[in-house]
């Protein structure tokens, strides 16, 4: 049950719970999270859904001062944080394993590459299997040790581009959900351990580039992406088992054979029934 008017005194009382590991402050009117940072040193899960009054500075202690060192799950869905704060949070809080940014209207791009340089434009050695090795210490650019496993950006209306190259250091990322992001046009992802990718209802999607050798499930339901782009993308996914292309107007139900030929490991293709 939501307690929208909880204040600093109430939060400081959490000091009486020194072993608290989960705190849900969703749908509250909080502005200052300092009492949480000072009182909940063992916190592992923090939920701040729809906390509309939090500002960019409210979370600065997390990514500038290392507050809540045990924190591994953070939910900021339906908040109003600006793009710069989200970027700093994702860049600096490498200990986070689960992050939810669903419905964040101020999130525009997720680009962990070289600025405007796309994965496909990088020198070949950057996208080789060497980039996925923990033992490789000869890279010209230091790689962050991200522990991120699960990233949810469902229904972010202004996100247009997602680029995650190997140099982003997302070695543990296994699930990425970008569904219902209506303006998302480009997804360029190279993640060695990614198993699940959901792009359903991303109706503006045009570019899809994948280097995800462990991907097993890809959902493209209700996307306007063309058949040839999907063929090329899944050809890089050697153990893909499930592909959902239902209600994709530019993918003909009669062309499932081409998709199976591009990715022989496919076991299940969900497609719309061809009209009689």
% of the chain at pLDDT higher than 70: 84
Cα–Cα distances in angstroms (integers) from residue 84 to residues 73, 100, 108, 198, 245, in the given order: 20, 16, 10, 25, 34
Residue 145 pLDDT greater than 90, yes or no: no
Do 274 and 183 fall within a single domain?
yes
Q: Can you tell me the distance from the alpha carbon of 29 to that of 166, in angstroms, rounded to the nearest whole number?
A: 39
Do 184 and 268 fall within a single domain?
yes
- Residues in CB range of 129: below 8 A, 6 or more apart: none
Do 103 and 172 fall within a single domain?
no
Single residue among 72, 91, 107 that ends a domain in this structure: 107
Do 177 and 91 fall within a single domain?
no
Single residue among 66, 81, 107 that ends a domain in this structure: 107
Q: Contact, 206 vs 185, CB < 8 A?
A: yes
Please check whether residue 208 lies inside any domain of the structure: yes
Q: Can you tell me the distance from the alpha carbon of 206 to that of 213, in angstroms, rounded to the nearest whole number?
A: 22
Say what the pLDDT of residue 139 is.
44
Give pairs for 182-186: CB < 8 Å, separation 24+.
Answer: 182/157, 183/157, 183/158, 183/159, 184/156, 184/159, 184/160, 185/160, 185/161, 186/160, 186/161, 186/162
User: Any idea of the CA torsion for 237, 243, 244, 245, to the nearest 10 degrees?
Assistant: 70
Please check whether residue 210 lies inside any domain of the structure: yes
- Residues in CB range of 121: below 8 A, 6 or more apart: none
For residue 72, give its domain range: 1-107
Say what the pLDDT of residue 4 is.
60
Single residue among 80, 107, 134 that ends a domain in this structure: 107
Looking up residue 14, the CATH number of its domain turns out to be: 3.80.10.10
- Which DSSP string do the residues of 185-237 spell out, in sequence order? -EEEE--TT--EEE-TT-TT--EEEE--TT--EEE-TT----HHHHHHHHTT-
Model confidence at 9, pLDDT cuts 50, 70, 90, reads confident
Q: Can you tell me the distance from the alpha carbon of 261 to that of 190, in angstroms, rounded to the nearest whole number?
A: 22
Do 94 and 183 fall within a single domain?
no
Do 70 and 174 fall within a single domain?
no
Do 102 and 189 fall within a single domain?
no
- Specify the residue for token string 């499932």: 256
Please check whether residue 18 lies inside any domain of the structure: yes
Across 189-207, average pLDDT: 97
Do 185 and 100 fall within a single domain?
no
Do 175 and 99 fall within a single domain?
no
Do 4 and 92 fall within a single domain?
yes
Give the closest residue to 59 by CA, choosing from 80, 108, 180: 80
Do 100 and 177 fall within a single domain?
no
**pTM of the full structure:** 0.87
Please check whether residue 21 lies inside any domain of the structure: yes
% of the chain at pLDDT higher than 90: 75
* Total structural domains within the chain: 2
Say what the pLDDT of residue 117 is.
42
Q: What tokens does 33 get?
A: 């999270």
Do 173 and 88 fall within a single domain?
no
Determine the distance from the C-alpha atom of residue 232 to the mean position of all C-alpha atoms in its chain, rounded to a whole number.
Answer: 22
Please check whether residue 116 lies inside any domain of the structure: no
Across 252-268, average pLDDT: 93
Cα–Cα distances in angstroms (integers) from residue 42 to residues 3, 91, 94, 149, 174, in the given order: 22, 22, 17, 20, 25
Across 156-183, average pLDDT: 96
Determine the distance from the C-alpha atom of residue 194 to the mean position of all C-alpha atoms in its chain, rounded to a whole number.
Answer: 11
Helices (H), the chain: 8-12, 34-39, 60-64, 83-92, 227-234, 256-262
Say what the pLDDT of residue 236 is.
92
> Each residue of 211-234: pLDDT tens digit?
999 999 999 999 999 999 999 999
């Amino acid at each position: 049950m939501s307690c929208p008017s909880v204040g600093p005194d109430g939060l400081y009382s959490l000091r009486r719970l020194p072993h608290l590991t989960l705190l849900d402050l969703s749908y509250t009117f909080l502005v200052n999270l300092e009492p949480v940072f000072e009182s909940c040193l063992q916190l592992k899960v923090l939920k701040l859904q729809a906390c509309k009054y939090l500002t960019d500075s409210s979370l600065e202690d997390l990514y500038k001062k290392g507050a809540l060192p045990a924190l591994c799950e953070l939910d900021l869905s339906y908040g109003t944080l600006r793009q710069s704060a989200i970027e700093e949070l994702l860049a600096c809080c490498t200990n986070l394993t689960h992050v939810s940014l669903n419905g964040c209207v101020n999130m525009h791009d997720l680009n962990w590459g070289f600025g405007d340089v796309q994965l496909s434009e990088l020198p070949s050695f950057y996208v080789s299997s060497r980039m996925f090795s923990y033992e490789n210490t000869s890279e010209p650019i230091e790689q962050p040790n991200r522990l991120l496993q699960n990233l949810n950006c469902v229904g972010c209306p202004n996100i247009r581009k997602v680029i995650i190259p190997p140099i982003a250091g997302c070695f543990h990322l296994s699930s990425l959900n970008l569904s219902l992001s209506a303006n998302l046009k480009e997804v360029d992802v190279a993640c060695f351990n990614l198993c699940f990718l959901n792009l359903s209802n991303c109706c503006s999607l045009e570019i899809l580039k994948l280097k995800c050798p462990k991907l097993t499930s890809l959902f493209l339901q209700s996307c306007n992406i063309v058949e040839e782009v999907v063929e090329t993308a899944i050809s890089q996914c050697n153990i893909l088992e499930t592909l959902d292309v239902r209600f994709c107007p530019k993918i003909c139900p009669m062309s499932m054979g081409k998709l199976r030929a591009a990715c022989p490991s496919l076991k299940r293709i969900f497609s719309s029934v061809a009209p009689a």
